[in-house]
Amino acid sequence: MLSKVYCLKFKNISSAFPFGIILLMIFISTSLPVSSETAVLKILPSLEEAIRLARSHQLHNSRCSDGNRNFFTEAQLIYQVKENYYGIQVKYEQLKISEEVREHFEKAVTGAEEKYESDDGEVTQSAITKLKLGLSGTLNDLVQFGNDKKLFQLRLGRLMGRAIHNEVEIGERSLKLLEFPFKTVAEYLAAQKSSARDYFELQEAMIEINKTRAKVGLAVDNRKMTRALLVTEAANYDFGIGDEGDLFEALIIYTHVLVGHFEALYNFNLSVSAFERIHAGGAPLCRAKE
């Protein structure tokens, strides 16, 4: 009798509120724990954590007994993680630069068009066209860098066994230059108290490190000068004492130099990582037969 009463009550409730059962199912499903393997990362983990996740994922999914499979060594896996991790960071920085330049161009185009329509004779149609072309180029950069970043995120996520959100938060994890004071292979090996597995390959990698190191030095100096140039030209234009041509040139130079600055950091970090991968060598990273 009691169960009959409960059934009647439930029947009355569900008829009065036809969506009640659906709401209950949604509540239950959202209350269930989400597997870490399927969770989407909305905050970029530290590089150390990314390497740990990738190593764990590789070991979990790779058996040494599997035939005809090419497994990463641990050094190769770490290099792959760093390549994509640094890639996310560099594209994030380049996107910020392009977004800043976009705002400058949009403001300049609007101001130039207003001056042109006022017939004061200070702005030419050619100057407006140049600014619009500059804006178009910047919008193209935003598309390019945005998609490059998504590709790096996709590849890093695959290595870690985690999906990474398209708009992942970088936080304080901005791209920084790695510390690598060594300029010769001999100097490095002496500091590490180790020998070379392949001295020729290490020499090649060291040449690449020194080349990218020199480019970083130039990029840092150029960045400071270019920033000062843009601040001056933007202020002059806002106060009406600068022209569209000078601002256009400053924005183009600023974009080229700062995008190149972060590209140089990325290339240096990657060349150091490649050197470390070659030096480490190692056996395939996989699980032994169970």
Listed by start position, the domains of the chain span 40-280
pLDDT of residue 45: 94
Region 200-223: what's the mean pLDDT?
95
* The model's pTM: 0.82
What percent of the chain clears pLDDT 70, i.e. is strictly above it? 80
Under CATH, which number does the domain 40-280 receive? 1.20.1600.10
The answer to whether residues 62 and 288 touch, using CB atoms and an 8 Å cutoff, is: no
Region 159-163: what's the mean pLDDT?
95
The answer to whether residues 188 and 182 touch, using CB atoms and an 8 Å cutoff, is: yes
Tens digit of each residue's pLDDT (9 = 90 or more) over 132-157: 999 999 999 999 999 999 999 999 99
pLDDT tier, 5 (very low <50, low <70, confident <90, very high otherwise): very low
DSSP 40: E
Tens digit of each residue's pLDDT (9 = 90 or more) over 101-121: 999 999 999 999 988 888 766
The answer to whether residues 226 and 253 touch, using CB atoms and an 8 Å cutoff, is: yes
Tens digit of each residue's pLDDT (9 = 90 or more) over 50-77: 999 999 998 887 666 555 455 678 999 9
**Token pair of 214, please?**
């020199």
Whether the per-residue pLDDT at 9 is higher than 90: the answer is no
Least confident of 156-165, 220-229, 281-290: 281-290
Whether the per-residue pLDDT at 284 is higher than 90: the answer is no
pLDDT of residue 127: 93
Region 19-24: what's the mean pLDDT?
47
pLDDT of residue 287: 56
Greater confidence, 12 or 197? 197
Least confident of 49-58, 86-95, 171-180: 171-180
**b/e 138-168 (16+ beta carbons within 10 angstroms → b):** beebbeebeebbbebbebbbebbbbebeeeb
pLDDT tier, 92 (very low <50, low <70, confident <90, very high otherwise): very high
Crossing angle (nearest 10°) for helices 20-31 and 2-16? 100
Phi-psi region of 237 (alpha: psi -120 to 50; beta: other; left: phi over 0): alpha
Question: Please, what is the average pLDDT of the chain?
Answer: 85
